[in-house]
Amino acid sequence: MIAFDNVAYNYGGGELLSEVSLRLAPGSFHFLTGPSGAGKSTLLKLAYAELLPTAGHVTIFDKDVRSLGRNDVALTRRRIGVVHQDVQFLDHLPLAANVSLPLTVSGKQGNPRDLTDLLQWVGLGKLADALPPSLSGGERQRAALARAIIMGPDVILADEPTGNLDWEMSLRLLTLLAELNRMGKTILVATHDLNLIRQAKAQVAARVLRIRNRRIQLAGADL
Ligand SMILES: Nc1ncnc2c1ncn2[C@@H]1O[C@H](COP(=O)(O)OP(=O)(O)OP(=O)(O)O)[C@@H](O)[C@H]1O
């Protein structure tokens, strides 16, 4: 689905990522970990063509990102649901309208039943009419996940989705991600929370990638 071959990235102040090669096979579940500032968010941005590599190749759905025109980028991104680190909503729109915004923007008529089912699935069925400022951190993250999957993406990329959540809510979010994976979605979650990764291993066959000294390595039993 997504492959990095010998990828490097540099914001201008020296190489942040070097010689990164990885493959996200269809239906796989990966965690991406590493210290703050190691480049986890940057790697995710490379994986959905928000950034282009400064060297090497990123291939998304069998196409090199450098060969994608603007329309191709838009089409490619529709197949990738992203949960951003700092979740943003339109505060004047109710939760349901925020979650269905990707449909609205792409001019698609969503099925209201599907939206209701989706909100119920993430445990927000009763909050469809709530405005974003009234939501808790956990509710916002689950709404962000619902918005990321409303277009039916093949891949879900989540950047510290449990960053500000308590343990119970983190587990709830993890369970949703594990369920999505069981439905066949390919998942990559950036997190510095090693406890979450340990917990996840009981639920899904997750592999753990770690950024260390600009390079990526497969973490082993030392987690
Ligand atoms: N747009 C940018 N321009 C210049 N430098 C940037 C930019 N975005 C990120 N950086 C720098 O690149 C480095 C890696 O940032 P990144 O956000 O990818 O790390 P991270 O591993 O996700 O960190 P965290 O766990 O704290 O979110 C940091 O030193 C950051 O300051």
Confidence of residue 86 (pLDDT cuts 50, 70, 90): confident
* Same domain membership, residue 139 and residue 49: no
* Same domain membership, residue 49 and residue 14: yes
Nearest CA to ligand 1 atom 7: 11
| Dist. CA 36 → ligand 1 center (Å) | 8
* Same domain membership, residue 67 and residue 43: yes
- Residue 107 clears pLDDT 90, i.e. is over it: no
User: How many structural domains is the chain composed of?
Assistant: 2
Whether the CB of 35 sits within 6 Å of ligand 1:
no
With respect to residue 86, please indicate whether it lies within any of the assigned structural domains. Answer: no
Q: Would you state the pLDDT for residue 21?
A: 95
* Same domain membership, residue 138 and residue 73: no
- Residue 223 clears pLDDT 70, i.e. is over it: no
With respect to residue 85, please indicate whether it lies within any of the assigned structural domains. Answer: no
Q: pTM for the full model?
A: 0.92
Q: How far apart are CA 78 and CA 9, in angstroms?
A: 24
Q: What is the mean pLDDT of residues 98-105?
A: 91
pLDDT (tens digit per residue) in 25-34: 999 999 999 9
> What is the distance between the terminal CA atoms of the chain, rounded to a whole angstrom?
26
Whether the CB of 16 sits within 6 Å of ligand 1:
yes
Q: Pick from 151, 169, 196: which residue ends a domain?
A: 151
* Same domain membership, residue 168 and residue 65: yes
* DSSP line for 107-169: T----HHHHHHHHHHTT-GGGTT--GGG--HHHHHHHHHHHHHTT--SEEEEESTTTT--HHH
**pLDDT > 90 fraction of the chain, expressed in percent and rounded:** 66
Q: Would you state the pLDDT for residue 13?
A: 86
Q: Would you state the pLDDT for residue 221?
A: 59
Whether the CB of 167 sits within 6 Å of ligand 1:
no
On whether the CB atoms of residues 163 and 137 are closer than 8 A, the answer is no
* Same domain membership, residue 108 and residue 37: no
Q: Which domain holds residue 144?
A: 91-151
Whether the CB of 1 sits within 6 Å of ligand 1:
no
Q: What is the mean pLDDT of residues 164-177?
A: 87
Q: How far apart are CA 56 and CA 54, in angstroms?
A: 7
- Shortest-distance atom of ligand 1 to CA 192: 25
Q: Pick from 151, 174, 202: which residue ends a domain?
A: 151
